[in-house]
């Protein structure tokens, strides 16, 4: 596409991006296993737009999103990460990207996604950062503009991963679940309380979200730091 030549390419160097920096590691292999599980969940239905969220902050959802995106891109698929955390965005930090404009600007029609999506060092992987933090994140994410934007992206990319705010903090993830094909829930071993995980599941199921599976992050085992379980 013509716009590919206009995308800025930034350095992608982050110790959390293990799938890129050390693709032969056991952790990177676990991400490839998660990728395979997602691909086989619905063989007759394309899972193209996926929300990644967690019950609470700092449980690793953004790291999981980034690494999943990398392994999908390494498979040859065109992948887009949307930082839809319009409250405390972090994706631009992980990928060392500028965040002067982004999703919030596109949704308010201040610019177009063609001018906003940025390329990364990983081939086939692009990022739409959050942009400036707006006063009304939930309303923007649940708007017709967001729905239309996702439909446009489906024609441009094979996989679209949305890094969403935590479920128990705000309603954004529930709002996004209405617009996407499924949700991956990230919980942190030794940190996420069982009650919090159950409450999160109830809230997502209450809005009829399709929970694709749960990733247990930071599990202290010798060979499998990440674990993925289907719902």
SS3 52: strand
CA-based Rg of the chain, rounded to a whole angstrom?
16
Q: Is 109 left (phi over 0), alpha (psi -120 to 50) or beta?
A: left
Could you tell me the CATH number of the domain that includes residue 85? 3.40.50.300
* Assigned token pair, 202: 């109830």
Beta strands in the chain (DSSP E): 49-53, 79-83, 118-119, 125-128, 159-163, 182-188, 211-217, 227-230
- State how many domains the chain has: 1
The domain of 216 spans 2-230
- Nearest partner of 57 among 135, 181, 209, 172, judged by Cα: 172
Q: Tens digit of pLDDT per residue, the chain (231 long)?
A: 333 433 333 333 455 888 988 888 888 999 999 999 998 887 677 899 999 999 999 999 999 999 999 999 999 999 999 999 999 999 999 999 999 999 999 999 999 999 999 999 999 999 999 999 999 999 999 999 999 999 999 999 999 999 999 999 999 999 999 999 999 999 998 889 999 999 999 999 999 999 999 999 877 655 454 544 444
- Residue 219 CA to residue 189 CA, distance in Å, equals 5
* 125 contacts: CB under 8 Å, gap ≥ 6: 69, 70, 73, 79, 80, 81, 119
């Amino acid at each position: 596409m013509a716009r590919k030549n206009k995308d800025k390419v930034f350095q992608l160097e982050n110790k959390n991006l293990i799938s890129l920096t050390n693709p032969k590691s056991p952790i990177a292999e676990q991400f490839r296993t998660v990728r395979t599980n997602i691909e086989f969940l619905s063989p007759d239905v394309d899972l193209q737009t996926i929300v990644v969220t967690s019950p609470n902050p700092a449980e690793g959802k953004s790291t999981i999103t980034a690494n999943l995106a990398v392994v999908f891109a390494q498979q040859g698929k065109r992948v887009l990460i949307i930082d839809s955390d319009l409250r405390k965005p972090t994706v631009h930090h992980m990928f060392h990207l500028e965040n002067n404009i982004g999703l919030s600007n596109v949704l308010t029609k201040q610019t177009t996604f063609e001018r906003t999506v940025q390329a990364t060092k990983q081939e086939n992987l692009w990022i739409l950062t959050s942009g400036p933090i707006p006063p009304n994140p939930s309303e923007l994410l649940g708007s017709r503009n967001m729905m239309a934007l996702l439909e446009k992206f489906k024609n441009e990319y094979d996989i679209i991963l949305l890094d969403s705010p935590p479920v128990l903090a705000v309603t954004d993830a529930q709002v996004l679940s209405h617009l996407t094909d499924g949700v991956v829930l990230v919980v942190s071993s030794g940190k996420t309380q069982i009650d919090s995980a159950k409450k999160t599941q109830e809230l997502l199921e209450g809005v009829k979200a399709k929970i694709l599976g749960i990733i247990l992050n930071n599990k202290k085992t010798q060979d499998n730091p990440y674990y993925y379980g289907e719902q």
